[in-house]
Chains A and B, each alone.
Chain A
Amino acid sequence: MSALWVAQLLVGIPVLAAVVTLALRRTPALAALVATGASLLSVVVAVVGMAVAPVRGENLVLLRQPLRVGAIEMPFELWSGPATAAVAAVVGLVAAAVLVFTRWYLADDDRLAQFAATVSLFTAAMMLVVHARDLVLTLVGWEVMGWCSYLLIGHWSRKESARRAAYKAFLVTRVADIGFVLGVVGLSAGAGSTGLDRVVAFWSHTGGGCVDTVTQTAACVAPPEPWLRSLLLSLLVIGVLGKSAQFPFQDWLPDAMEGPTPASALIHAATMVAAGTVVLAQLFEVLVLADGARWLLGLSTAATMVGAAVLALGQSDLKRLLAWSTVSQVAIMLSALATATAEIGPDPALFHLWSHAIFKSLLFLTIGWLSVVAGSTLARALRGSVAVHQLARVAWLFGLLALAGAPFVVGGLSKEHVISTAYEGAIGAGGPGVIVLAALLVTVVLTAAYATRAWLVVTASVPETESAHDHARMPSAPVLAALALLTVLSVVGGLVLLTGLFDIHGTSLWWMVLTVLLIVIGGGITWLARGNEDPRDSFVRTPRQRALADGGLGFDTAYRRGVAEPVLGLARVVAFLDREVVDGYVRGAAASAGIAGWLTERGHRREAASGGVALVALGLLVAAGTAVLAWR
């Protein structure tokens, strides 16, 4: 099986699974089983894909007659490379774990089949983005993911909060996608093709050293203007910021916690929010030349990673804490792209995507389990819930260790690489390296602090009377197996570096020592702040502070006041104008025709009596006037 076949299968299997699952919606249990089976098959294919992944540098292109739309060429190619294969494998793995978990978690839900079908379609869309070698295919996967996230977040559509969250998530990302679409349009229109290879060749061409292949002759004639490249990449970055919930679009993600927990696991771990990293990694050769876009990305991610980590500290709902931690972690991934130099390449970011997918899905599925036990995701309710099962304790512990970036576990390794990338970027090249590095180091402290807090909350000892955990149903064996597998991977997942799929340079021991120190400081702060009371109050003490933290610093209000209300106001004005002004001309024309008709009718009626005489007189006058004029 060649890598190309793997790519096609990985996109095709989930699409097929989605259709079949939807067709079987009358029998939800069977439908979910089909979806799960297909996802497990995808995992197998993806693992094979990792084995047969082409060696670095080898170019693998599907030759097919490209679709020509006028002057634009659309090759619609899929492609697979080493890092791509690894990312695809982790996407498949997380999707399978999510589906396995869903079968248990939503067993009583009457829309289980629809949910499973949407998850399959979502996975297919992400696989498409990962494997696309064509910007239009990327855009297709990108938008389909947005739509699936709308359906998944709004799955419990009988709840007003879920409906609102779904609407908000889709709108915020769609507004940011204005930039993404324009970026794609501008890049492909410039290159005359939507194929990634030609786009990259055209836009990364800096003027010197013409390459004599047929596709690049255009680039030789006119090297693209740097400002246009920066502008287009910045537009693309805006779209990525929206989808990845980065500042200033960050507020949709915590609200998206209204969706069922498996959906959150999927959205956060391996698909939607991470997709931006994949897209920018594909365009890395252009991005590295576009300084404006790199500054935009760097500043936004630096602000986001610190801000989100601070908010995570203050959440009273552990699921929202995880959501903010996702925002912060995705900022870390993207910052690696903003700071990496051309020699380092995009792989540190992709490696962090890989490790984040593993530990974040583990954390989400574990909290899904615990919330079934505790009946809520509020920190207050979850106190001590980890006592339900030894696996829950171990899973939560290693998930948090990876999140905090403890050395040698998967999250630690990847974070080290991001930090050293930022350092290289800061000393080596221009761009936002210094700011990002500072933000990264602060974030390490904060991450350790909120991870410690999350640990203290669920392991707090609870008086026996409050504990009603015994009656909750236990997860099925496959769920436990999936959690165990994810836990193991969170510990040893870093071994993927040995396979050489990610092209990553070593990092210095000193960075490791420094981050350990920072993690200890962060954990220590939480430990000290814990005091004697219960740990959920460690950082947020007054109700006002809590409201501010849970509300994400009031960004929701800002969106409403700053965007939604002005647009609606404008819409009312336009509706008024349409009714009274534009249509007014039409009615005016009708009315004037009516008046003219009425006048004519009057004129005709008069004609019988005195009107005739008047007309004759008028005629005489006109004749006389003409005669006088003609005489001269």
Chain B
Amino acid sequence: MLLVPGAVGLWLVTGGRALPASTARTVALVAAGVGGLAAITATVMRPVVDRAWIPDLGVRWHFEVDGVSAPLVVLTAVIGVLVVAHAWVERPWADAPGSGSAATYLGCLLLVVAGAFAAFAARDAVLFFLAFEVVLLPMWVLIGRYGDPHSARARADASARFILYTAVGSTLMLVGILLLVTRAGTADLGELPAAAATLGTGEQALVALLLTIGLAVKVPVFPLHTWLPAAHTTAPTAGSVLLAAVLLKLGTYGLVRLPLANVPDGFSRIAPVLAIAGVIGILWGGLICLVERDLKRLIAFSSVAHMGFVVLGLASGTETGVQAALIGNIAHGVISALLFVIVGGLKHRWGSVDLAVVRPALREVSPRLGFALILGLAAGLGLPGLAGFWGELVALLAAWNPAQHTGILRTCAVIAAVGAALAAAYSLRVARIVWVGERVADDAREAAVAQTPDARSVELGVMALLGAAVVVIGVAPWVVFSVTADAVTALVGGGR
């Protein structure tokens, strides 16, 4: 069911490596499409797969989609199809000779998607961890082999940094999970909250701390974020999109699923620290975006800032906060995917996205690309009517009335609101540099258009779909809120 992309991806990586690019692309697209459809069906039908797997540990092969994971599964399904389709636009295997075959590239994309499906659907803590790890390796290949063709050193540095950072985080998480599972005596996420309630406060806090630090690497929460800009900058466009839209979501999803749901008392003890780290991330990311010269790095740092809002929502520990985090998650997924498609496209066209280089304005030369960019930037600065607004506003509402630590979290809310103003400053800074500019004289127009050809066919389709998602979530947030509402109530109420 969800395993079609996994199987096809695995086959492409191993057996099908020699396939010509065109065949591989079609196969991969079909696989992603089938997997996506199956996933969307699964979110509607909600089937359950539950088999014993490692009985000694009580680990079960248990998959189920609920309200918390449903929007993320749909997001992954859509993004999965889009990144494979994007292979018609950008061909990293052809740009960097010697990097590897097209089939390997596409296989890795599919494996990441399959791993993400598994992680979002897993109902077993150990299974979740395994799925979480499955995602890392193909991503490492994507960054290291198919990344920025201009600098092998940057690729090596970024991919090594990515894998080591996240592996360290995963190790901590694994320790946390094992501690939790052995103490509670079950690995089933449905039974864990009740079972874990018997743990002492010290143990709860320790488990929550381990899990949170491990997952915070993935989110990423300040000060564990330094792998992100490097990875985003070097990864191919599809890789960046997957990173932002799927991998980071694993981190926040894990935070909801593991520490918040299972050890709420322990989690609420470290919540203020998490909230403070979150708002520092908001300010930190926002400030760096004001002076950062590389556009891709800038978008990556803005991700750090946006995830800060998500973390702030989580740290409030209330139902409202978790709702904010979930919609903020989805919103960030589509917004940053859109921005990375655009910026990746620009980098592909220009060779670099250094903001200090003066180029013809997008609004003058390639209006469609320009429109998509300004839409993404507007959504990024939290404009109402677009996706980003709801996550930020509701996170602030939640932080104003948190479950505990009212004083600290209110201060955090104030700082986060300041960070929202920073978002406006850096988004419009980008708009002012890239989007608007002088009139292009008629004789220079041809050269300028040749340098920045406008988006068409597949690229345009990808951008249009993401843009539409940004608008739909912004105009009708209850699409997401209503799906997550009941599950969140059960989740937050369940542990108490």
Interface, chain A (partner B; CB < 8 A): 67-72, 136, 139-140, 143-144, 147, 150, 154, 157-158, 160, 163, 167, 170-171, 174-175, 177-178, 181-182, 185-186, 188-189, 567-568, 570-572, 574-575, 578, 582-583, 586, 590
Spot the interface stretch: B171-179, B314-322, B342-350.
B314-322
CA distance A568 to B284 in the complex (A): 12
Residue contacts A-B, CB under 8 angstroms, 6 given: A69-B323, A69-B397, A70-B398, A136-B393, A567-B287, A586-B227
Given contacts A163-B436, A181-B420, A575-B288, contact A586 B165 (CB under 8 A): yes
- Cβ–Cβ contact B397 & A147, under 8 A: no
Interface, chain B (partner A; CB < 8 A): 161, 164-165, 222-223, 225-227, 283-284, 287-288, 290-292, 318-324, 361, 363-364, 378, 382-385, 389, 393-394, 396-398, 400-401, 413-414, 417-418, 420-422, 424-425, 428-429, 432, 435-439, 477-478, 481-482, 485, 488
- Cβ–Cβ contact A189 & B401, under 8 A: yes
- Cβ–Cβ contact A571 & B393, under 8 A: no
- Cβ–Cβ contact A143 & B389, under 8 A: yes
* Option from B292, B361, B378, B485 in Cβ contact (under 8 Å) with A147: B378
Smallest Cβ distance from A198 to chain B, in angstroms? 14
- Cβ–Cβ contact A567 & B420, under 8 A: no
- Taking CB atoms, residues of chain B closer than 8 Å to A570 are 287
- Cβ–Cβ contact A68 & B485, under 8 A: yes
- Cβ–Cβ contact A70 & B420, under 8 A: no
- Taking CB atoms, residues of chain B closer than 8 Å to A72 are 320, 394, 397
CA distance A163 to B482 in the complex (A): 41
- Taking CB atoms, residues of chain B closer than 8 Å to A140 are 384-385, 389
- Cβ–Cβ contact A185 & B397, under 8 A: yes
CA distance A567 to B423 in the complex (A): 13
CA distance A312 to B418 in the complex (A): 33
- Cβ–Cβ contact A574 & B478, under 8 A: no
CA distance A570 to B289 in the complex (A): 12
- Taking CB atoms, residues of chain B closer than 8 Å to A163 are 432, 436
- Taking CB atoms, residues of chain A closer than 8 Å to B165 are 586
Q: Dominant SS at the B interface?
A: helix
Given contacts A143-B384, A144-B383, contact A178 B421 (CB under 8 A): yes
CA distance A610 to B290 in the complex (A): 59
CA distance A586 to B319 in the complex (A): 35
A-B contact count (CB 8 A): 129
- Cβ–Cβ contact B481 & A69, under 8 A: yes
- Cβ–Cβ contact B478 & A182, under 8 A: no
- Cβ–Cβ contact B226 & A583, under 8 A: yes
- Taking CB atoms, residues of chain A closer than 8 Å to B398 are 70
- Taking CB atoms, residues of chain B closer than 8 Å to A572 are 291
- Cβ–Cβ contact B384 & A70, under 8 A: no
- Taking CB atoms, residues of chain A closer than 8 Å to B394 are 69-70, 72
CA distance A572 to B283 in the complex (A): 13
Smallest Cβ distance from B431 to chain A, in angstroms? 8
- Taking CB atoms, residues of chain B closer than 8 Å to A158 are 364, 436-439
- Cβ–Cβ contact B321 & A70, under 8 A: yes
Given contacts A158-B438, A575-B292, A582-B226, contact A185 B396 (CB under 8 A): yes
Which residue of chain B has its CB nearest to the CB of A578? B288
- Cβ–Cβ contact A70 & B393, under 8 A: no
Which residue of chain B has its CB nearest to the CB of A177? B421
CA distance A157 to B323 in the complex (A): 39
- Taking CB atoms, residues of chain B closer than 8 Å to A143 are 382-384, 389
CA distance A575 to B294 in the complex (A): 13
- Taking CB atoms, residues of chain B closer than 8 Å to A160 are 438
Smallest Cβ distance from A155 to chain B, in angstroms? 10
- Taking CB atoms, residues of chain A closer than 8 Å to B385 are 140, 144
CA distance A68 to B488 in the complex (A): 12
- Cβ–Cβ contact A188 & B397, under 8 A: yes
- Cβ–Cβ contact A157 & B291, under 8 A: no
Which residue of chain B has its CB nearest to the CB of A182? B417
Smallest Cβ distance from A187 to chain B, in angstroms? 10
**Apart from A67-B482, A567-B290, 12 more pairs, CB < 8 Å:** A69-B485, A71-B320, A158-B438, A174-B424, A185-B400, A189-B401, A567-B287, A568-B291, A570-B287, A574-B288, A575-B288, A586-B226
CA distance A136 to B421 in the complex (A): 18
- Cβ–Cβ contact A574 & B287, under 8 A: yes
- Cβ–Cβ contact A181 & B396, under 8 A: yes
- Cβ–Cβ contact A139 & B291, under 8 A: no
- Cβ–Cβ contact B421 & A174, under 8 A: yes
- Taking CB atoms, residues of chain B closer than 8 Å to A67 are 477-478, 481-482
The winner among B284, B364, B385 for most chain A CB atoms within 10 A is B385
- Taking CB atoms, residues of chain A closer than 8 Å to B227 are 586
9 closest A-B pairs by CB: A70-B320, A70-B319, A157-B436, A140-B384, A189-B400, A571-B287, A571-B290, A174-B424, A158-B439
- Cβ–Cβ contact A182 & B393, under 8 A: no
- Cβ–Cβ contact B428 & A171, under 8 A: yes
Smallest Cβ distance from B377 to chain A, in angstroms? 11
The winner among A72, A139, A177 for most chain B CB atoms within 10 A is A72
